Chains A and B, each alone.
Chain A
Amino acid sequence: MNLALGRRHTSFDRAGRRRRWSDTARDIVLYIIILIFFLPVLWVILTSIRPNVEINTRPPVWIPSYLDFDSYKILLGMPTPEGAFALGTQIPFGNYARNSTIVSLVSTLLSLILGGLAGYTFARFRFRAKNTIFLSMMLGRAVPGVALSLPLFILFARLGLSDKLLGLIAAYTALNIPFTAWLMDSFFRAIPEELSEAAIIDGCSRWGALLRVDLPLALPGVAASGIFAFLTCWNEFALASVITRTPASRTFPPGLYEFTGSFVTDWRGMTAMSVMMLIPSVIFVALVQRQLVEGLASGAMKG
């Protein structure tokens, strides 16, 4: 079992040793910590499926008395019992899902291509002012959404891009390029240069070497950059709340805001939409978490 896991640290720590009570105790501490981190998540999930009367109560109701999926039905436009309280009925869930999906996928793809090319260049070429250019790119990540939202709002209005998906895609692509370039540079540098040189000598073009030799080896890096970029786009609020004005282009995060009315907040509807928002992220992370950590560990972040 331990050998099968194959982590150097694991095999070393337990090499020839029997499992001790302290190992078990350490794992239990870890489970408790993770549980504390998970508690608010659990609460969000429970809130989305409990009957509305149990939500804002004192003394609190911890375990729902029965499961109630009305808030999901309302969001998905399915028939619901008469008089079910929900602001969710007015929320164009389908529009938000479509917009968020298009914006996140397209910007992630674009920033992977553009940032990946930049990362490859930093990793494989020497040129003048390389450090300065690299640092200047990183400054792109230091610009806050709020600071950028002010001028972008005006400029997009003039260019006819406000309330268009294209504007949001452009903004998110730019936001993600610096970090993608950085990560991809790390991953490309971890691949021995001799491999692509050999391919070039064997008659491969530089593009061919990049696509057939370097890129497949850098796939963990693509996974890592991809997930960070995707999560940024999927969850971004400051820019989206300013640039998107109507359901035509609005994405999930500013959409969540609509569950708060002037006097009431539809917690159940909000948590239901949040849970649905989480599903693609959880699937994505569960699929690539191993490549992410092992990729980062395999020399990519060193130095």
Chain B
Amino acid sequence: MAIGISARAAGEVRAGQTGMAEGRWLPVVLLMPGIAVLLAVIAFPMLYSLYLSFTNYNLTTARSFHFVGLAQYLTLIKDPIFWQAFGRTVLFMTLAVNLEFLIGLGIAQLMAKAIRGRGALRTIMMMPMMFAPVLIGFMFKWVFNSEVGLVNNILYTLTGTAHIIPWLIEVPLGFISLLIAEIWMSTPFMVVILEAGILSLPTEPFEAAEVDGASGWQKFRMLTLPMIMPFVYTAMAIRSLDLARVYDVVRIMTDGGPGNRTEMIWTYVYRLSFTGHNYALGSAMSYVTVIISFLFTWYLFRNVIRSRWEGRE
């Protein structure tokens, strides 16, 4: 990838002043190793998978496969399970990002004002971030287990009745269980970023508002919230990207089941590719989804990026 260097590049000007001859190509030299790794380990395999999506490749007959044009993509378009999984993933992402944001903002607000033991509280709060998503999957599979799970056990202890709620099996309950696991897992990330946002605020506007007799809510609505928006954008952009890839927790808790009831895109792609041995169709589905999430990423990050270097240039 050739990177053109602007003639009036600040780096070059500075380099010129300090007698550094390599100034013009320095950015290329510094960026290249990282970009090379990304090209080799992400871009190239993804192009290879694009090529395979136009063939009838599968893992059992890997030696003989041929070009089939758009056949896999036509199968995909006509596959209702794919589109249901797609819709469910989008719904899951939207609900999770917004709920995590609201809960995270509340906790961050409390955390930023906490008086004692903030370091310890923060470490405990970040525990879910340290858990492997697989473990969280197993943990919540157990939490929502209908026979011996934590939730039904608490209900049992509190009410004394042995009423069994099939959390992971009934239609909205399975989705809700997954949502709770995801929120538990990822709200701490929101808390960390938003707490940093709140701690970064200058004190003067708040003192002025205090003098003017503003209520706590007014201060939050008119001062805190608008001023932490860069943090909000960043946190929500990153979380949206992560949620578009949601896999581990779903794979372990329900594996899309029973009978596709909680199917998400990536559990479906995995099953088609590795269990169903229809690797080429899996690649086609990956591609459609990855391209949609690329467009989404581009859209999300444009706002973050635009404000990024503007102050400096």
List of 10 A-B pairs having minimum Cβ-Cβ separation, nearest first: A296-B196, A144-B245, A281-B130, A174-B41, A235-B132, A151-B45, A147-B286, A128-B4, A60-B153, A125-B11
Interface-lining segment among B68-76, B94-102, B166-174, B302-310? B302-310
Who on chain B is nearest to A19 by CB?
B115
Contact status B200-A237, CB under 8 Å:
no
Q: Does B86 reach chain A (CB closer than 8 Å)?
A: no
Q: Which residues of A contact B241 (CB under 8 A)?
A: 141-142
Who on chain B is nearest to A197 by CB?
B14
Q: How far is the CA of A258 from the CA of B38 in the complex (A)?
A: 32
Q: Which residues of A contact B148 (CB under 8 A)?
A: 55-58, 60
List residues 45-90 of chain B with CB under 8 A from any CB of chain A: 45-46, 48-49, 52, 62
Q: Does B211 reach chain A (CB closer than 8 Å)?
A: no
Who on chain B is nearest to A251 by CB?
B132
Residues of B within 8 A of A (CB): 1, 3-6, 8-11, 14-15, 18, 20, 26-27, 30-31, 33-35, 37-38, 40-42, 44-46, 48-49, 52, 62, 107, 110-116, 118-119, 121-135, 138-140, 142-143, 147-148, 150, 153, 156-157, 162, 184, 187-188, 192-193, 195-203, 206-207, 230-231, 234, 238, 241, 244-245, 247-248, 266, 269-270, 273-274, 279, 282-283, 286-287, 289-290, 293-294, 296-298, 301-302, 305-313
Known: A59-B157, A171-B41, A297-B197. A292 touches B192 (CB 8 A): yes
Q: Which residues of A contact B31 (CB under 8 A)?
A: 117-118, 121, 133
Q: How far is the CA of A143 from the CA of B244 in the complex (A)?
A: 9
Who on chain A is nearest to B285 by CB?
A147
By CB atoms of chain A within 10 A, which of B110, B111, B116 has the most?
B110
Contact status B135-A177, CB under 8 Å:
no
Q: Does A8 reach chain B (CB closer than 8 Å)?
A: yes
Q: Does A152 reach chain B (CB closer than 8 Å)?
A: yes
Q: Which residues of A contact B26 (CB under 8 A)?
A: 121, 125, 206
Contact status A40-B38, CB under 8 Å:
no
Q: Which residues of A contact B27 (CB under 8 A)?
A: 121, 125, 127
Task: Supply 11 further A-B pairs (C-beta < 8 A) apart from A10-B115, A117-B31.
Answer: A33-B107, A58-B147, A130-B309, A133-B3, A170-B40, A189-B312, A282-B130, A290-B122, A294-B199, A301-B230, A302-B230
Contact status A152-B45, CB under 8 Å:
yes
| Interchain nearest-CB distance for B268 vs A (Å) | 10
Q: Does A37 reach chain B (CB closer than 8 Å)?
A: yes
Q: Which residues of B contact A248 (CB under 8 A)?
A: none
Q: Which residues of A contact B131 (CB under 8 A)?
A: 41, 235, 274, 278
- A126's contact among B10, B187, B311, by CB below 8 Å, is which? B10
Q: Which residues of B contact A5 (CB under 8 A)?
A: 115, 118
Q: Does A3 reach chain B (CB closer than 8 Å)?
A: no
List residues 29-61 of chain A with CB under 8 A from any CB of chain B: 29-31, 33-34, 37-41, 43-44, 55-60
Contact status B123-A286, CB under 8 Å:
yes
- B130's contact among A29, A143, A278, by CB below 8 Å, is which? A278
Contact status B46-A40, CB under 8 Å:
no
Interface size classification for chain A: 35 or more
- Chosen A-B contacts, 14 in total, with CB atoms closer than 8 Å, are A30-B114, A34-B125, A118-B30, A133-B31, A135-B297, A147-B290, A150-B279, A150-B282, A152-B41, A177-B34, A252-B132, A256-B132, A282-B127, A289-B122
Residues of A within 8 A of B (CB): 2, 5, 7-13, 19, 23, 26-27, 29-31, 33-34, 37-41, 43-44, 55-60, 62, 114-115, 117-118, 120-122, 124-131, 133-135, 137-148, 150-152, 154-155, 170-171, 173-175, 177-179, 181, 189, 197, 200-201, 206, 231, 234-235, 237-238, 242, 252-254, 256-257, 267, 270, 274, 277-278, 281-282, 285-286, 289-290, 292-299, 301-303
- B150's contact among A43, A114, A286, A298, by CB below 8 Å, is which? A43
Q: How far is the CA of A242 from the CA of B107 in the complex (A)?
A: 37
Known: A12-B207, A124-B11, A289-B122. A147 touches B49 (CB 8 A): yes
Contact status B134-A151, CB under 8 Å:
no
Contact status B234-A142, CB under 8 Å:
no
Contact status A147-B115, CB under 8 Å:
no
